[in-house]
Amino acid sequence: MERRPRLFVVSGPAGVGKGTLVTKVRELRPDLGLTVSATTRSPRPGEVDGVSYHFLSDEEFTRRVEAGEFLEWAQVHDHRYGTLRSEVDRCLAAGKSVVLEIDVQGGGNVKRIYPDAVRVFIEPPSWDVLVGRLRGRGTEDEASFKLRLEDARQELDLAPTYDVRIVNDDLQTAVRQLADTFESYERYGGTSNNGNH
């Protein structure tokens, strides 16, 4: 069966490894469109403007909100993040599926605008593993680490509202499950475990 381009949302708490997962799936599927979000937070070491994010000042972010440039945006942790309409349109116009790696608020907003969007939630094997990964990442100061943990609890509560849930325990397994999920929705409109095959 032909692949039909779909809009995918991938969410999950900070530290769960969703960025790595999406990057690995893209290596298998270079045809997948990945949008670059805008944010008001500062770049972490190694992050490149226009590649990791469009890093915007507060004023510039507000200007773009007012100009209607965002498909969705949300306050996540202590900064604003948003998906630019132009990024999504660019991919869809090229006939590519789009993967939005966004938080649960954004996931809810996208579902309202695109009811056809498929939402995938990435879960940690356990709470302790998540705490360990987030600490090990070492990119956060203590206050920001605590905030991310509090937010993680709230994000995990919303996992049941997602279409598909994947536990990121063994990375290779999770990569395959995410790639299979994309493929199943593109080809068959669903996965074998939700009865849509």
Interface contacts to ligand 5GP, rule CB under 6 A: 14, 37, 41, 72, 74, 76, 81-83, 101-103, 105-106
Shortest reach from residue 116's CB to ligand 5GP, in Å: 19
Shortest reach from residue 3's CB to ligand 5GP, in Å: 25
Instruction: Record the tokens describing residue 186, joined without a space.
Output: 């593109």
Rounded-to-integer distance, Cα 39 and Cα 43, Å: 9
Rounded-to-integer distance, Cα 185 and Cα 163, Å: 11
Q: Which is nearer to ligand 5GP, 8 or 81 (CB)?
A: 81
Where residue 189 falls (left for φ over 0; alpha for ψ -120 to 50; beta otherwise) is left
Q: Which is nearer to ligand 5GP, 33 or 82 (CB)?
A: 82
Shortest reach from residue 102's CB to ligand 5GP, in Å: 4
Q: Which is nearer to ligand 5GP, 86 or 193 (CB)?
A: 86
Q: Are 137 and 110 in contact (CB under 8 A)?
A: no
Output the residue with the shortest Cβ distance to ligand 5GP: 106
Order the strands of the 98-101 sheet from edge to edge: 33-34, 98-101, 7-11, 118-123, 164-167
Shortest reach from residue 112's CB to ligand 5GP, in Å: 13
Beta bridge pairs of residue 54 = 38
Q: Which is nearer to ligand 5GP, 2 or 112 (CB)?
A: 112
